[in-house]
Amino acid sequence: MKKHLRNINWFNIVEIFVSSFLVLVVGDLLGLVTLPEISKEYSYWYTFMSYFSVISTWIAVLAVIYYFPSHRFIKSSIWKNKQGNTVSFLLWGLLVGFLLNLFSALLAFLHGDIHLTFEKFELLPLLGLLLAVFIQSSAEEVFCRGLIYQRLLKANVSPLVAIVLNSLFFAALHLLNDGISPLAFYDLLVTGIFFSLIVYYFDSLWMAMGIHASWNFTQSILLGLPNSGQSFPYSVFQLDPSKVHDSLAYNVAFGLEGTILSSLVMTICCLAIYIWKKDDKAPLWY
């Protein structure tokens, strides 16, 4: 492993991250100049656009893949294929993300850390929000586990190094979020590692997209909880801000994420998938 680290072309690695960051900036600027700004008083459309606006990241990444021949190899990791990007893996991802978030929320609820009240259930608006959340979550996946991760592998670094580096970048993207803390950063880092292990062992970016989207949709839209420190006005259940408490299972400023419970859940997920699948592929550090 030490020999591998010494042989890495770190200048090339820095170039990958700098150029990828520029792609992200271009995507953000594209969203700012093309998408309307919605007032928070329009609760549904404000929530919808907060998630949907990240489609600009999708556009920026796809533009790079198609306009730069050296990046076209990334297409195979994004589009549908027989190896892992299948509808069944996507559905499994949606189920796993839902169950993981529901488990974490249920423990916080039973512990008395959160109090939820039913607000409304509107099927068509919820389907629209599911699409918007999927666009947001999949954009982060196609950027971190598509563009960055695949470019790192192409640069001949080991899967382990590619996994850790893209996950560090993923966690760093949330450094300006409200309520960020060292524990929240670790939680985001280990979550990024979990998503990366899904991509590595299942060859399925779609499954990672499904887990990510379902986790965000469950906590933010169904339960009305903060999503990595960001709260939105439209949800099926509403959180009573006067009845929330910091604990092992919930963080008032950041939500379910950034807690000992969530960090432990994601760490266990990483260990479980490694133990389960480690004999199916080459070692992570090869």
Residue from 272, 256, 238 nearest 187 by CA = 256
- Phi, psi torsion values for 193, nearest 5 degrees: -65, -40
Tokens read off for 138: 């999949």
Tokens 């965000």, residue located: 216
This model's pTM is above 0.75: yes
Q: CA 178 to CA 192: how far, in whole Å? A: 19
Helix axes of 205-217 and 123-141: crossing angle, nearest 10 degrees = 130
- At 156 the pLDDT is 87
The secondary structure of residue 54, as a DSSP letter, is: T
* Domain parsing of the chain, residue ranges: 2-277
- At 152 the pLDDT is 96
Report the half-sphere exposure of 96 (CA within 13 A, side-chain side). 20
Residue 5 has pLDDT above 80, yes or no: no
Residue 3 has pLDDT above 70, yes or no: no
For residue 6, name the pLDDT band (cuts at 50, 70, 90): low
Mean pLDDT of the chain: 94
Q: Which ranges constitute the DSSP H helices of 35-86?
A: 43-52, 55-67, 75-78
Signed CA dihedral, 115, 225, 134, 91: sign only: negative
Residue from 149, 147, 120 nearest 222 by CA = 120
Helix axes of 159-172 and 182-202: crossing angle, nearest 10 degrees = 140
Average pLDDT on 24-36 reads 90
The secondary structure of residue 142, as a DSSP letter, is: I
Residue 24 CB neighbours (<10 A): 20
- At 4 the pLDDT is 60
Contact status, residue 202 vs residue 89, Cβ threshold 8 Å: yes
Q: CA 261 to CA 163: how far, in whole Å? A: 23
* pLDDT tens digits, 104-128: 999 999 999 999 999 999 999 999 9
